[in-house]
Amino acid sequence: MPAEIQVLTKGLVATKLSHSMKDLFDRIIANKGPLGKWASQAEGYFVFPELEGPIGNRMKFNGKEVITWSINDYLGLGNLPEIKKVDAAAAAEHGAAYPMGARMMSGHTKLHEQLQNELADFVSKEASYLLNFGYQGVVSIIDALVSKDDVIVYDVDSHACIIDGVRLHLGKRFTYKHNDVASLEKNLERATKVAEQNGGGILVISEGVFGMRGEQGKLKEIVALKEKFNFRLMVDDAHGFGTLGKTGAGAGEEQDVQDDIDVYFATFAKSMAGIGAFVAGDKEIIDYLKYNMRSQMFAKSLPMIYVKGALKRLDMIRTMPELKAKLWENVNALQNGLRQRGFDIGTTQSCVTPVYLKGSIPEAMALVKDLRENYGIFCSIVVYPVIPKGLILLRLIPTASHTLQDVQETLDAFSAIRDRLENGTYKRLSQAVAAAMGE
């Protein structure tokens, strides 16, 4: 090719490339994402609401007292005087910083070890390791456990932290239909073929309790498949720890398969009313994770405030079974009351209480505003694209701090708002919003 033509050709290619390139932020400005696009209608009220006052069954929202059903303080520990006393004393002694640095370098203490030992004993495992944050802990556990030759098989309804952890995996991964053992078995057959070809292993991941629907993972059935397939089981028991099982040790204890869970994870952000998390299992596996979880190797240790606070909270969970008993008194009163009034609460097997209604997003917004402003009920709202279009999910989290009076007021309010939804009141109230949203 003549030199003049080569120069011309290169110039045309360069021009084409420069015309196709965009500023990185152009897409972000044009598309705020599936949730962010509703920010102007929702922010400050339906999302990022400001609940004020001490953590409890009744708090302040928008200047009014509301019964609060959206806080995962299952055992009601968050505002107990004895808990706050320990937290305050730890803060006074250590400040918010101690210990500084990552555990491997300068952030390790005897109390961190004590908490790990007590947690391992509580969930019937050889060893446990503290994590500075639950979400990134799960991501890092998955990343450390598998290599490119291994295969991950996980429930399609898994929490975002599990999905983000799986995204880091360089090998094959398969999803199975939610809590569908036949689907899991089919995907284990696929995974086995890949693992045999690669010389790798298989990691199955489930949740102990699925936080949106409230169903327990089918851990007993999953464990039974170990007789037919060679895999290891990881369970994220964020919602089960403290709430399920005879002692509160979680979904594995509830289903009598705790010994068969190879990697057990739980957070402090729910039943323990704190920050942090832990992973537990055989000592050899936990020792491996200690030296290979990047989110812990290269990030700050769990501050002493939370370590001492967690020791106190764990002690109360072990020695005060009345906390869990009161929680379940409220759970049963709420769930039985909703069922008796004809509400669809799905197939929940836990404290998580979903109420399914039919309606559009604008109707859901009008309904929730009515609940909060006129009935004094604050609960979480979930709509499309998180759930199918045309459905409204109101998610209630009963706690030990709720009263039976709270339950009765809520049941009466739900009966009233259902009537208003069915007679078209919310459709009329939401017409302006619906028009703005193009619905």
Q: Report the 10 Å Cβ neighbour count for 158.
A: 20
Name the residue with tokens 């302040």: 60
| pLDDT of 210 strictly over 90 | yes
Helices (H), 226-384: 251-254, 283-290, 294-297, 304-319, 321-340, 361-374
Please tell me the total number of residues recorded for the chain in this structure: 439
Query: Where in the chain are the domains?
Result: 36-68+321-437, 93-319
Q: How many CB atoms lie within 10 A of CB 408?
A: 13
pTM of the model: 0.92
List beta partners, residue 202.
151
Q: Which residue did the predictor score with more confidence, 187 or 365?
A: 187
| Angle made by CA atoms 236, 338, 367, in degrees to the nearest 5 | 90
Residue 349 CB neighbour total at 10 angstroms = 17
pLDDT at 35: 77
What is the DSSP annotation of 31-62? ---TTGGGHHHHBTTTBS--EESSSSSEEEET
* pLDDT tens by residue, 28-37: 988 988 778 8
Report how far apart, in Å, the C-alpha atoms of 169 and of each of 155, 237, 262 are: 16, 21, 19
Query: What is the fold, at CATH topology level, of the domain defined by 93-319?
Result: Aspartate Aminotransferase; domain 2 (3.40.640)
CA distances to 108, 146, 184 from 292, rounded to whole Å, are 16, 11, 28
Higher-confidence position of 44 and 92: 92
Inform me whether the pLDDT recorded for 439 exceeds 80.
no
Over residues 330-380, the pLDDT tens digits come to 999 999 999 999 999 999 999 999 999 999 988 999 999 999 999 999 999
Q: What pLDDT does residue 39 have?
A: 83
Task: Tell me: pLDDT of 395 over 70.
Answer: yes
Mean pLDDT of 107-112: 95
Tell me which architecture the domain covering 36-68+321-437 has in CATH.
Answer: Alpha-Beta Complex (3.90)
Per-residue model confidence (pLDDT) at position 11: 53
Contact call for residues 204 and 154 (beta carbons, < 8 A): yes
Average pLDDT over the chain reads 93
Residue 296 backbone class (left: φ over 0; alpha: ψ -120 to 50; beta: rest): alpha
Given a cut of 60, whether residue 14 has pLDDT beyond it is: no
Q: 45-49, 100-104, 205-209 — which one is most confidently predicted on average?
A: 205-209
DSSP-based three-state secondary structure for 63: coil
